[in-house]
Amino acid sequence: MSEEFAIETQDLTKRYDGVTVVDSLNLHIKESEVFGLLGPNGAGKTTTILMLLGLTEPASGTARVFGFNPTREPLKVKRLVGYLPEKVGFYDNLTARENLAFIAELNNINYAEANSRADEALEAVGLSKEADLTVGKFSRGMKQRLGIADVLIKKPKVVFLDEPTAGLDPKGINQLLDLVANLPKMGTTVVLSSHQLYQVQMVCHSIGILSKGKMVIEGSIDELGREALAGGRYIIQVETVQPTPQLINTIKGIKGVKKVEAKDNILQIGTDSDLRAAISKAVVQNDFPLIQMKVQEFSLDDIYMKYFREG
């Protein structure tokens, strides 16, 4: 096992009642990065996280979290990781601060330290004013933020966030994503499970897409975009009037152009790099009007959809 990965799994498999939920999963997550675990509902994201936490035992295969095996040494792993479950719950009869203090106590943090850490964590998630309200009065968004504070109070090296943005309003989502994006600066690795692709794309350095318990693809978003499109990194759309085969051939002759498809008045041009200048010049010089031109960059959505169309 190499030491450079914060989290590493080898053929991690889990079955529930004969159904394979996670199927020989090989996961590699680097230290201090935000890793997005994507996939449709029921793909095995939560189960994977539970196995990495040592809350669920794998049927076969091994997992390593900072070199510790979560099944064999659950306490050592749990000392290092923070977990925000999908449906996070608190003791409604206790205040936000009391809830945090209890978690701190379970982590053997002494009273004075726990108090200052609770203040810090509440400050970080913007709940300082509500610190002494009972959690029963909290809204969904506030609870979610308290959940983040709850994770931060133990100063974990890895944070597992399971659908952290579910049920939040747009403002809440932005605040939360800001928080998440700042975690790696403090040396914390983040594993984020979600199916909100846009949000994942905003904060994640690399992603892994799960489908039916299998890892479909894993890597950084840039790499995946390039992999996802066979025709090249860029697709440039050019709108003109009645393009002739001759024009198409001219464009094909430009260095770097891989593929040209004509559809009515629109040309889809696949290129290695941004060749808009050369293409527009070619169109205009051949006496065709250049009505519109745009570069289609591949977003996570496209990558995701592509793999699920294939799968």
Question: Cβ of residue 48: shortest distance to another protein, in angstroms?
Answer: 9
The residue (of 107 and 268) whose beta carbon lies closer to another protein is 107
Question: Cβ of residue 58: shortest distance to another protein, in angstroms?
Answer: 11
Which residue ranges make up the site for another protein (CB under 8 A)?
Answer: 16, 21, 44-47, 50, 53, 55-57, 75-76, 78-79, 81-83, 85-93, 102-103, 105-108, 147, 150, 154
Distance CA 265, CA 242 (A): 6
Distance CA 144, CA 76 (A): 26
3-state DSSP: the chain helix, strand, coil percent, rounded to 5? 40, 30, 30
Question: Cβ of residue 132: shortest distance to another protein, in angstroms?
Answer: 15
Question: Cβ of residue 163: shortest distance to another protein, in angstroms?
Answer: 11
The residue (of 1 and 75) whose beta carbon lies closer to another protein is 75
Beta bridge partners of 7: 29, 65
Identify whether the C-beta of residue 85 lies closer than 8 Å to the C-beta of residue 45. no
The residue (of 89 and 126) whose beta carbon lies closer to another protein is 89
Question: Cβ of residue 18: shortest distance to another protein, in angstroms?
Answer: 14
Which has the closest alpha carbon to 229: 283, 136, 144, 300? 300
Torsion of CA 169, 175, 178, 179, to 10 degrees: -110
Question: Cβ of residue 106: shortest distance to another protein, in angstroms?
Answer: 4
The residue (of 37 and 267) whose beta carbon lies closer to another protein is 37
The residue (of 80 and 221) whose beta carbon lies closer to another protein is 80
Question: Cβ of residue 65: shortest distance to another protein, in angstroms?
Answer: 12
Count Cβ atoms within 10 A of the Cβ of residue 82 and give its class: 0-12 exposed, 13-18 middle, 19 or more buried: buried
The residue (of 30 and 79) whose beta carbon lies closer to another protein is 79
The residue (of 49 and 197) whose beta carbon lies closer to another protein is 49
- How far are the Cα atoms of 33, 38, 88, 220, 232 from residue 223, in angstroms, in the given order? 16, 16, 34, 5, 12
- How far are the Cα atoms of 13, 28, 69 from residue 126, in angstroms, in the given order? 39, 33, 35
Q: In sequence order, which residues have a C-beta less than 8 Å from that of residue 259 and are 6 or more positions away?
A: 231, 232, 268, 269, 270
